[in-house]
Structure 1
Amino acid sequence: MHTLKIVLRSWWRNKLFVTISLVSLVIGITCTNLLTAFVLYEYNIEYNNPNRNRILRLIQTLPFAQEEMQGTFVYHESVPEIISQFPEIEAALRTQSVTHTKIRVDNEDFSDLNLLSADSTLEKFFPIETLTGKVKEALTHPGTIAISQEVAKRCFGTTDCIGKLLEIPQSGKNTYRIVAVFRLPSQSMLHADMLTSLNAPEGITCSILLKQGTDIDTFRQRFEATELPTLLGKGYYHTLSLQESYFNTALQDSDQCIEHRQKALLSVGLLSALLILFIGCFNYINLSFSRLLKQIRTLHIECLLGATHRQIRWQLFVDTFLMVIIAFMLSILLMSDLLASFNAIITAKLSLSYLFSSQVLPIILLFVIILSIVPAEYMSRKIHTLSESSYRSFFTGRKKQRIVAALVTLQFIISIGLLSAFMVIRSQMDLIEQEGNRYKGIIEFSIVDSAHSPLQTWIEEIKPITGVESIVPSRSGLYPMSMAVPRKGGEENDLLMLELYEVCPDFLSIYNLELSDAKQTFNLLPRTPIPAIINEAFIRYLVPAGENPIGQPISKYIPEENEKGTIIGVIKDFKKYSLTNNIFPLRMLLHETPQENFTTLTIQFDEKNRAELIDHIRRLWEKKYPNTPFEYTDPHKILMSYNQEVTDFSRILLMYASISLFLTLFGLFGITHYAIRQRIREIGIRKIHGASPWQILWLVNRPFLCYIGIAFVLTIPVICYSMNYWLQQFAYHTHLGIIHFLLPLLFTICITLLTVCLNSYRAARNNPVESIKCE
């Protein structure tokens, strides 16, 4: 207790040191613990699945566009033939998912739900906790369904809903009887709100469960070397474990109920958190140097009063250990407050209970013990052996200056590096948003029965709605059907997907699609019987090099008899999915008037009237199709969802770059405060000899500007290499520029000068005589 009192008194006399040290350590520990928990959660995906190491997903490699794409689509007829050739397989699971499903309960609609149709073997592959009823019954009896606990509470207000009915208008079987309520365990890569039985004729994905004791590596080699029925005939499958599948964001997954996560996000997040912790520790170390002189004087006085070396060491140990432990306790409170925001920023699913689970808590405790005991033991052994003269020679001479300079430079390296990385990612995000601007204020929807409600009737009823700017009919809108065609000079199975549009000319203007030669195209439009437009990707993949396709029939480049159009123009490539993928070629037939097969309306409107417009169209829809829920497509939302990973990167780096800069400047404030106190007499003498306040400010700021300059020079090559590597994953990406590095540099310089000047200005304006007296 006596030692604790001494430590607390020391803290009270050094309140600035304690405040900066605690804030730095609390923020550093909080960031590191949250990111550590997040990384553990993601890497241990399917942690509660006892069969996770025996499950493999079947993957086909298909040559689309200029790259091979891995997809999970498997024809249902081929699954029994595949399974029969491998006795090591214990069970197979076929699934099909429908996302954004809308259900109706007692005339009330509930949307954005995920429906998973699966074989009865589902529970062998993914653990499912049954709350009421039997999930097995929903997977084996058509017309029955199991719903999640969240859906049950949302639709019925309770989980006691067995036997009740719900409608799914999109499905062939509209009405389903609820036979079970379930809950998925935490860390499940399966995200399903409803479960029902699989219809055999449906296209599906397939996973296999191997028997106990099977050598997975040997099996995978044999499986992938065996010729099996694929989408293109006889071919070869690849396999992915659950974890490999989870971290494969390039996979074209037909099962949208299976989640994926970008592995690089985990690495960047954890690295950022560790860098924040380093900054917090550097602040603590730098301030300790400035505090130790007074502490050594106090220790020598205690020795003169009879304190033993053991007592001194224990006091120093408690001082350092207690600081870290209090910081850890405060970080727990901060973690609980920030958990919801953290989950929202990086789309995580962490809970407070998980932070204290057996997966995370031992790691955090080990980390805190190392962080507290190791420095405490070192400081207690080192300091009590130093005399005041030894301290002055070591900690106030050039060695101390070099140590502080190195630590402060490292802090600036981290801050400038994170800011520069954020600037590059922000530029990539700007590229995505720039492409997304063409889709803002636009929705599409398809009518169900044009005979019952003609397209022209819809147009006349929607035009008068407030906020509507234009309406364009088309066959299938922005997301048309595709056809597999052989590329130029390719083999029979060397295919790529060709998108088939049929639109009116106004479709080009509503989406701001840019023609390479608009004047030529619109001159040829009225003179061509069946005018067609292609994109730049069509020329790259299907038109021989150097050939002008204008005026040529589409059939010249596509071996399809039904293609009758003549090319009259070329539009520049536009992105509507992830920028990591190459754009597919397209063929767009132009019709002056809507055709009989046109079933989609594209509506451009004022964003201020979005809610009222959609509500108005929904009411019109319900009058015409009372048994079918209204659904629409938002192209801007789709584009942003496909590029969500870039958004997550941008958010997490902005968050940690801001925190790192804040901690660095917070530490600089403390360092300059102690430095000016130690040099107060020097400053007074300089003023007596004629130094101006501006010269004093330059004297104090000059070292920090040097540190920033050194940090900037060291940071540039690292960031250039790492961010260039990151950008290579995108088929369409921004390019590194000087602005990505100069803005963080200038921002850091300005904030640093402001922080240091806040401390040094008063000393520069003080009466030099009073400054010398104070010393």
Structure 2
Amino acid sequence: MFKNHIKTAWRHIWRNKIFTFINVVGLSVGLTSFLLIALYIFDEVTFDRFHQNANNIYRLVEHRTTPEGKETKIAGTGYQVSAGAQANLPEVKNAVRLVALGRANVAPSNSTNIFYEDFWISSPGFLQIFDFKLLQGNGQTALKAPHSVIVTEEMARKMFGTTNALGKSIKVDREPTPFLVTGVLKNFPVNSQFSFNLLFSEVTYQDAGFNTDWDSNNFYTYLLLDAKANPQVVSGKINQLVAANRKPDNQDKRQLTLQPLKEVHFNSEGIEGTLGKTGSLTYIYVFSLIAVFVLLLACINYTNLTTALFSKRAKEIGVRKMIGASRKTLANQFLAEAFLTTFISLVLALTLVKLLLPYFNGFTEKQLSLGPGTDYRIWLGTAIIMLLVGGLSGIYPALFQSRLNPLVLFKSKIPVGNDSISLRQFLVVMQFAVSIVMIVATLVVYRQIKYVSTKDMGFTKSQLLVVDINSGKVRQGAETIKNEFAKIAQVKGVTVSSRVPGEWKNLPKVKVTQNNTAPAADHEMFFLGVDDKFLPTYEIELLKGRNFRAGSLADSSAVLLNQTAAHELGITEPSGQIIQIPATNFGSSFDPMPADKPYRVRVVGIVKDFNFQSLREPLAPMVLAFHKNPVHNIDYFTARVSAANMSETIKQMEAVLHNIDQEHLFEYHFLDSQWDLFYREDKIRETIFLMGAALAIFIGCLGLFGLATFAAEQRTKEIGIRKVLGASIQSVVIMLSKDFLKLVFIAAIIAFPVAWYAMHQWLQDFAYRINLSWGIFALAGGIGVLIALFTVSFQAIRAAVANPVKSLRSE
């Protein structure tokens, strides 16, 4: 019987090629989009969960509250916190500490090939707690010896031309003794918070003052707890241990908590120093809904088209019932047709996914794959989805069409009650409501990204070439290099600074007090060290006072303030007011300046506010100090260059720098490209929204086409009579189209408040944002109506121009 059902289903599919084509295309598109989004979501929700002990690994997070009530959360602790917990608490089975010490100049010991890499050090527990695969070496001992290092396979190939790097040595500019490669690590998966290329042994630096460090936030700390341990009880014991050893003069209230490793990816908002990319559960829910809706719309279309074209099969089914076919047999036949169509669609969808994955990975920055090595849960889910789609697509025809009376079928008068019409109308409304919400989302995200890309930042970020200062030689010869850069014809201006707007590293903060306030109030402000060419090079407006003077020793104690800082300090006219900077913060906590060297400065100018952070952040107060200051050394050259002959300009600048230091690489980037990275995730979401909107609209159009086909066939004789009585083609088209356009208008009324709320919430992430004007919603609704009108008109015109004689012949 099963074989007979499949054979009959195949004959029916082959006989109705156009009908089959529409169904297969709709289901294939739905399945393809579902599978792509499902792969993306699966990768996100399995972030850091592939470790065998993931359920028992916790990250230490410090919650700090200042006497003024300001709260911060930091993903870092002092060295002794984990060391003490491991030594004193039986619940702590193992611990790992990692710290980043900036970048280092590294090279194979027998080569002059130099690379810049982040300099990470770790305790031996890294390869014992986490299940990262070593291609070579022993994970239990790889980081136990001084001057040992593990490298990723990518780094091994880059440095040695092969992954067979065990036993080779690496020289580092910050250490006279070479490091021995004791392990080659398989490249980190994309869905891991760790992504460095080199990991140096912590024991090499045991004499660096770590043994008394209970207070810093320098170490990323992870603990492996006993499976039966209570994390809250353990964190309480850790806090007691820290309180007994921490310096009593610290005024901040500090408490450590244990965050499960599985929660780090989605629950790190507001936690400073979080490693890797963080995710958003909100977007996971949104993308899941998109995937489910697109697939559900495809199933609805199958049902609509099957019902619309059912009249062509009425006599066939009537004959089957007259010769003894049971309702169960007919239901199984319809389900067999649905499952066969779904299977064909799934095969096509898997092919499309395979073809589209490289492009999908390109813009989502993932490494998704679908093949024999793919997680079994993906394949199991695919099989379940096929069964669900086949069942959902075929269940209505199987239940409805199989129960009709044979006499009714022979007369080709298929009853369609109000309930079924209402159901189809409801489904079309839902289809287009989803489509319109997606259109609004796409328009809003596009306009917001365009807005933040083109907004006046208070400086001109185009054509700014930023060159890294990576060595003491370059820093000492900065004035010479700057002067030589300025001599290049295409260079319009050059400046040096400690950081640049759009900084991707930590932007230092300082505490600022005024001597004329009693008691002196602390103001937290960002800090930037610059020279006299910074304002003209970045084209930042000086509002009041003066700029720094080139070569002036006196200006080493002068500062400029931005408008926000001046307003916070109550300074309206810069006239040499004395302010003091008693403490600095480079990412975790404020450290006092040396008591014997107080940093007092004079305010000589006020500059117009300029955005130096993502536009998600509001303008903040900033102190611009002269580049020769005791807080922060210069780290960058910035040159304003003309667009003409850019490659030659870069070559000349590289030659200038290498005249001073031949050993270090010439690293550069364009500042506007760096700013674009702030909104990279938003652009990914914009693309996914656009794809979802396009697919929802496409499948919605197929649904409308099915309904229009059904309506035209049900009203064939009515249209014929109207035409005989003189109705024009235009009036017939309007008659058939208006009912469907009403559904689209209803869909828009439902969609607009949902879309407004969703996008209003999303825009709250930005300090600077567009207004949700009525024009966006009108445009989205108009697009939906035009698409629906075009889809319905095709079938309506076809019915209107048909010869009425043919439709009335059987009366």
Band of TM-score, shorter chain: 0.7 to 0.9
1:75 and 2:78 are equivalent in the alignment: yes
Question: Percent of aligned pairs with the same residue?
Answer: 22
2: distance between equivalents of 1:361 and 1:376?
A: 23
1:417 and 2:451 are equivalent in the alignment: no
2:91 aligned to which of 88, 91, 96: 88
1: distance between equivalents of 2:547 and 2:667?
A: 38
1:676 aligned to which of 712, 737, 742: 712
1:482 and 2:508 are equivalent in the alignment: yes
2: distance between equivalents of 1:36 and 1:129?
A: 26
1:661 and 2:697 are equivalent in the alignment: yes
* Matching residue of 1:427: 447
Q: Which amino acid aligns with 1:141?
A: A
SS at match of 1:302: helix
Q: Which amino acid aligns with 1:272?
A: I
* Matching residue of 1:535: 562
Q: Which amino acid aligns with 2:419?
A: K
* Matching residue of 2:279: 261
2:322 aligned to which of 304, 328, 338: 304
Q: 1:538 to 1:597 in 2, by over 3 A?
A: same
Q: 1:199-219 CA deviation, whole Å, 9 max, x = no partner?
A: 343732222222342122433
1:235 and 2:254 are equivalent in the alignment: yes
Q: What does 1:548-697 align with in structure 2 at a 5 Å threshold?
A: 548-551=571-574, 555-556=578-579, 561-566=598-603, 568-577=605-614, 579-589=615-625, 600-607=636-643, 609-632=645-668, 634-697=670-733
Q: What does 1:305-324 align with in structure 2 at a 5 Å threshold?
A: 305-324=323-342
Shift of 1:566: 1.9
Q: Which amino acid aligns with 2:745?
A: G
CA contact (8 A) 2:27 2:295 kept: yes
CA contact (8 A) 1:59 1:239 kept: yes
2: distance between equivalents of 1:123 and 1:669?
A: 58
1: distance between equivalents of 2:445 and 2:94?
A: 44
* Matching residue of 1:444: 466
CA contact (8 A) 2:334 2:394 kept: yes
* Matching residue of 1:245: 264
1:364 and 2:382 are equivalent in the alignment: yes
Shift of 1:628: 2.0
Q: 1:550-587 CA deviation, whole Å, 9 max, x = no partner?
A: 3365545866852322253242241424x444544211
User: What TM-score does the superposition give when structure 1 sets the normalisation length?
Assistant: 0.87
1: distance between equivalents of 2:100 and 2:474?
A: 30
1: distance between equivalents of 2:609 and 2:498?
A: 21
1:720 and 2:735 are equivalent in the alignment: no
1: distance between equivalents of 2:519 and 2:227?
A: 41
CA contact (8 A) 1:484 1:495 kept: no
Q: 1:770 to 1:147 in 2, by over 3 A?
A: same
* Matching residue of 1:183: 186
1:55 and 2:63 are equivalent in the alignment: no
Q: 1:83-106 CA deviation, whole Å, 9 max, x = no partner?
A: 556442222211023687764457
1: distance between equivalents of 2:732 and 2:373?
A: 50
2: distance between equivalents of 1:748 and 1:295?
A: 33
Shift of 1:263: 2.6
Q: What does 1:258-407 align with in structure 2 at a 5 Å threshold?
A: 258-353=276-371, 356-373=374-391, 376=394, 379-387=397-405, 396-407=416-427
Shift of 1:407: 1.2
Q: Which amino acid aligns with 2:258?
A: T
How many residue pairs get matched? 763
Shift of 1:451: 8.3
Q: 1:319 to 1:534 in 2, by over 3 A?
A: same
Shift of 1:417: 0.4
1:703 aligned to which of 712, 736, 739: 739
1:511 and 2:531 are equivalent in the alignment: no
SS at match of 2:164: coil
CA contact (8 A) 2:481 2:657 kept: no
SS at match of 2:637: strand
1:150 and 2:154 are equivalent in the alignment: yes
CA contact (8 A) 1:25 1:280 kept: yes
1:472 aligned to which of 486, 495, 498: 495
1: distance between equivalents of 2:149 and 2:168?
A: 10
Higher mean C-alpha displacement, 692-701 vs 714-723 = 692-701
Q: 1:4-63 CA deviation, whole Å, 9 max, x = no partner?
A: 333223223432322222122122222223323332332233333122222221212346
Q: 1:43 to 1:490 in 2, by over 3 A?
A: farther
Shift of 1:609: 4.7
2: distance between equivalents of 1:559 and 1:701?
A: 74
Higher mean C-alpha displacement, 98-107 vs 714-723 = 98-107
Q: 1:462 to 1:525 in 2, by over 3 A?
A: closer
Shift of 1:112: 7.4
Higher mean C-alpha displacement, 383-392 vs 281-290 = 383-392
2: distance between equivalents of 1:99 and 1:275?
A: 46
SS at match of 1:758: helix
Higher mean C-alpha displacement, 404-413 vs 320-329 = 320-329
2: distance between equivalents of 1:284 and 1:330?
A: 16
Shift of 1:677: 4.2
1: distance between equivalents of 2:582 and 2:124?
A: 43
* Matching residue of 1:192: 196
SS at match of 2:377: coil
Higher mean C-alpha displacement, 353-362 vs 125-134 = 353-362
SS at match of 1:195: strand
Shift of 1:636: 3.2
Q: 1:220-274 CA deviation, whole Å, 9 max, x = no partner?
A: 4554677644986662123211122222343555464x44323323222211111
Structure 2 gaps, min length 5: 211-217, 584-597
Structure 1 gaps, min length 5: none
